[in-house]
C-alpha cells in the first residue's frame, strides 16, 4: 500500500514539473525582439513605458524597447 502512494506522489510531482517546464519554454518562445528603430525623438507624453532587451537573453542585440501611445 505504501509503495502505490509513493508512486502516485512521484507521478503527481513529475506532472507538475513537466507543466512548469512547458510553460517556461512557451513564455520564452513568445518573446518580442526589437525588429526596427526610429531616428526621431518621441515626446514623453506618448511614452507608456519601456523594456530593456539584452543580447544574452532571447534576442540577438541589446536594445531599449519603448511602448508608445498610438497617434
User: Which one, of 44, 58, 57, 54, lies nearest residue 66 by Cα?
Assistant: 44
Confidence band for 13, pLDDT divided at 50, 70 and 90: confident
Which residues have C-beta within 8 Å of that of residue 44, sequence separation ≥ 6?
none
Q: What is the pLDDT of residues 29-46, one digit of tens each?
A: 456 677 777 788 888 888
CA distance 15 to 20: 9
pTM to 2 decimal places: 0.45
Amino acid at each position: 500500500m505504501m509503495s502505490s502512494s509513493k508512486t502516485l506522489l512521484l507521478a503527481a510531482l513529475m506532472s507538475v514539473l513537466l507543466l512548469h517546464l512547458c510553460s517556461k519554454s512557451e513564455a520564452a518562445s513568445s518573446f518580442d525582439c526589437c525588429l526596427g528603430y526610429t531616428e526621431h525623438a518621441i515626446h514623453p507624453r506618448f511614452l507608456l513605458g519601456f523594456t530593456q532587451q539584452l543580447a544574452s537573453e532571447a534576442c540577438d542585440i541589446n536594445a531599449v524597447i519603448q511602448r508608445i501611445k498610438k497617434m
